[in-house]
Structures are given as structure tokens and as C-alpha cells.
Structure 1
Amino acid sequence: DCAEGGLAVALAECCISGDRGAEIRLDLGSREFSYGDASRTGVGSRENTASFRWDSLLFAEGGARILVSVAPDRAEAWEAYLTEQLGEHWQKLGVVTKTGGSLRVSTASNPDLINATIEVMTERWLNAIERRLSL
């Protein structure tokens, strides 16, 4: 569910709750991301990629976006089902990686847009209120 904190927070929550890493590749060229107001975010057409803001994609809150993890041996069937049901209105973002790994989000222009270990993300999440109150 990307409604609270956007895509980046949803990815982090998935990694923390499953104690698994993820390798995510955000590529505007393979399929276009389409959410929200394309004129405001620059999303939705290849002509607008120069004005595109990654923070909008990663942290914009909104409904109608979900993350799904599928076992590797079922991925082909799942992707065929999505294509049958949704046409081109879905996107494969990446793969789940090893236990206790890292969340890595990359783009063509930034190979380390996000690179955080599950251990560090978990510690920050578990101690967020305590850390904030000690300021």
C-alpha cells in the first residue's frame, strides 16, 4: 500500500517486515510511470522526463498503487495474468534479495538513489519516536 509515505516507504516496510532486501530499478524508458497529475510531476510522457522529480515518485501518497512480491517460480504466470488483466498498466520494479540485505533503488542516472541496509532501516524505524523525543 503506497498511500502512507509513498513507494519508498512501502518498499522499506516490506523489507523490514520480511527481513529481506530488494533491488529496485526505476526506469522511465521501459514503461512509463503514470500516477497523479502528469503536468505537475512530469510523469506520464517521455517528453517530460527532463522535469521529472524522483521525490514525487518515491514519496507521493496516493491510492491505487500496491506492491506485490511473487515467488520466482510463479513470476512468469503472475506477469502474464497482470498483462491479461491490466495491459500495460503495471510495472515490474525489481527483485527480493537475501535475508538481512539492503534496499537498493537505482535509476539510469543514479545507481545509488537509495541504498540502506535492513538493519539500519529497522533500527531507525523502531527508535524513531524515542530519538525524536530526545531532541
Structure 2
Amino acid sequence: MDYIKISKEAVGYLYKSHATLRQSEIDVKLIALAELRVSQINGCAYCCSFHANELREFGYDQRLLDKLPGWKLSSSFDARQKSVLQWAEAITQLHGDLTGYQRDLESHFSTKEIVDLTTSISLMNALNRLRISLGDH
């Protein structure tokens, strides 16, 4: 189903929000990393492929992307990346110490960056669910 064409205005606003977030103060590579992890958790094959390709275009090595599901046990990710990935998982699965994770984010990012990151993660969850339920997988 071409849900984007069917509901141009409503779905269009979601994609416009996505594009706006890509212009935020936070590093777009970190947003894309969070979006890939969210898409992996949700099982959105289309979005996993899209964001993995995007990250490779940004210069991420495939070997690092291969380690993404095991990021917690990997020394390949830096502290900022781990903080973003922890937040992405917590928001997607609504579990864990959200207050503690947010404090960790505050040691790496401004308040605006945290809001934009959280919005991006929340939006990716919505876009994954649209793609999985109404679109091509």
C-alpha cells in the first residue's frame, strides 16, 4: 500500500519532521545510528537497509555496523554513541532507568540536542510501525 501517497498531508508532516530533525544541532551521524538501532529492534527491514546504507555513506565501517546489535559489550563504540544507543533502546522498548540514562545524555549533549534526539527516536518508531504495517517490508 502506498500510504505516503494515500495520506500525503498527515504522513508528509512526519517526513517533514524527519527532515527538520536532520538539520538539528546534534550530529546527523548519531541520529542515523539511533535510527538504525530503533529499526533493528522493531524489525523494519526496509529502514534497517536504508539507515545502514546511509551510515556507510557517512563513513561508518561495515565492521562497526555488524557489531551494532552487541554494542553494549563492544569497545568499538565511543561514550557518546553508547549513550545514544542506550537512549534509543530505552525509548523504543520503554524500559530501564530513563532518569539515569537522561543524566548520562546530559554529560554529552545540550538540552536541545536531547529533545531533538528523543523526538527523532520517537518519530523513527512511528515510521517503522507505518512501514511494517502498511508499506513494503
> Does TM, normalized by the shorter one, top 0.5?
no
TM value normalised by structure 2:
0.33
Higher helix share: 2
TM-score (norm 1): 0.33
